[in-house]
A and B are shown apart, each in its own frame.
Chain A
């Protein structure tokens, strides 16, 4: 779809085949296809059931702690010397990131479907912790697949998951990161079709996952939009979010898609630089292909083999991106840019001292971009950034990069 053929709303996707423009779809083995269709049917039924939303609202309010606050980062704004910077503080949710929004919705769905075992993939471990948490809450056994590299660099989250009663399965294939964890989660699912629900953590995978995870995460943007209007009487000039698979960004952006005056910016992980082969910038440096059940932008070689991503942030270390982002990129509604490991580390430290908030390395990428654009903007412009996770889990990795021995 070209920009000139834009529909009246950008919020109506996907189509009946699970496509956003030419992206998305359902590329899974036949064994899984009936399961994917049953998740779609169950989700459609849940959406039509007001009781489902009421129940979800109650858990989000009383267990997760929503709504998360909108914070005017005044000291940071002064230091940057330009636009007003606001943080949507999803790092204050129970479990410390936005991931719980989606887990809460999907665990209720899994319950409705009568599933008795939950599996998940995780990169940084935030989705794994959130999944283990809701499984503990509902008394369901939980198996989390996590790459061996990530098990090592996110040790606190591995222990957290175990405390919550989950089994953490290290995955050593490939580079031992999120991509490999997702492969093994899908292999588990195909072997346990009767009792198991696959709780995907990002806006990727076969339809209906990209749309469903987006819907559950859209509470971020819905709240932020109303809070922004209450605080400033207007919408932000720019909304910014970090992107690995893209769930926190989709959650922030989706409620703003039909506000043409709000610029939307997604920040991919540029790793050691976009012109090295060590980054995770699927949109900036990849091309469309099919992996993990959907057609989307992927890092791949000339033969269509998937190449390894790299990022200091385990949560962004993924060679693909949610299909709706690929579409929003192609139609130009969202601008996608990138921040390097070093820029993220710098922003991480700046945020600690300027705002007293230790951010996760994932939103530190978004913040790195904010530090580039805010100083160039007029003082009455507003930048809204999704602080999608807190950085307690990252202090060991950051210490290592800063040459500090803990």
Chain B
């Protein structure tokens, strides 16, 4: 059983949902992002999503755009992001790690080689934002050959006729993009989630995560009631960014501030009995 499937199955027996915090690799530097990554499981992360910096992240709002640029400025590359994961794996064998990013750096690395190296580093799944199901074959074979889950996005614009096509070839879990928009901007209403999640649920047996627009513990708890997992990204990055000095350097308490926020969000998710 894959790490992702094992984790969701364990949480099911515990009767609770999963909390998935996000960090951008090398934001604002290797040491800080490594400390955040390593501290996340202890702060309540059930799975971890790591952003692979890209110059042109078209689905992301200003918060993650800026985080990516800070990461690139600090020297982030795909190989170095994989090294972050393999380093994490020497401390933590169980927490699933999902890489999120855009297709071009992966194609530049070579899809086959990237999937092989990612699996070797201990990566469990990939979210490639600009790879819709229509273009899935650029990565599907390589990911399957290396037992990497391809986690697809389902959006409010994905209608019932299209859902099966998007879900076909998805594995690990399904990522429901709760708003039509870019990351870190709007928040979905409880009514929207109450209608949307059962619609996706009818079309798949995979766990469903909700992401985009979840910022507070209260919103996280609400999302946890509707779905199986909750992703928070921009709110954590905003906290990190606010702690940086004017030159963009981390402060002594940057890591702590982010991990405290992770803890608060994780507790809110755990407070919801499933």
Contacts and interface: CB of A to CB of B under 8 A. Distances in A.
A28 B56 CA distance: 12
Contacts of B135: 25-27
A304 B156 contact: no
Interface residues of A, number: 34
Interface centre among A27, A31, A300, A302 (most CB of B within 10 A): A31
A27 B65 contact: no
B253 interface: no
A267 to B, nearest CB: 25
Contact of B104 (A30, A34, A289): A289
A305 B106 contact: no
A193 B103 contact: no
Contacts of A35: 157
Given A27-B131, A289-B108, 12 more contacts: A25-B134, A26-B134, A28-B132, A31-B153, A31-B180, A33-B157, A190-B59, A303-B77, A303-B78, A304-B105, A305-B72, A305-B105
Interface in A120-179: 173-174, 179
* Max count, chain A CB within 10 A of own CB: residue among B72, B105, B152, B166: B105
Most A CB atoms within 10 A — which of B104, B154, B159? B104
B155 interface: yes
A186 interface: yes
A108 interface: no
Sort A-B residue pairs by CB-CB distance and give the 6 closest, nearest first. A304-B108, A304-B105, A31-B155, A191-B181, A30-B153, A29-B59
B154 A303 contact: no
B108 A29 contact: no
21 contacts: A27-B132, A28-B130, A29-B153, A29-B155, A31-B153, A31-B157, A33-B134, A33-B157, A33-B162, A187-B58, A187-B61, A190-B181, A190-B182, A191-B180, A290-B104, A300-B104, A303-B105, A303-B109, A304-B78, A304-B104, A305-B55
Most buried by A among B55, B102, B105: B55
A387 interface: no
A48 interface: no
Nearest to B129: A29
A305 B57 CA distance: 11
Nearest to B72: A305
A306 B55 contact: yes
A208 to B, nearest CB: 13
A42 to B, nearest CB: 16
A226 B102 CA distance: 45
* Consensus secondary structure, chain A interface: mixed
A366 interface: no
A187 B186 CA distance: 13
B63 interface: no
A30 B180 contact: no
Contacts of B130: 27-29, 290, 293
Contacts of A302: 108
A320 to B, nearest CB: 10
B81 to A, nearest CB: 10
A193 B180 contact: yes
Contacts of A190: 58-59, 180-182
Given A183-B56, A304-B107, A34 B157 contact: yes
A183 B129 CA distance: 14
Given A34-B158, A303-B105, A29 B58 contact: yes
B220 interface: no
Contacts of A34: 155, 157-159, 162
B173 interface: no
B185 interface: yes
Interface string B101-118: 011111111000000000
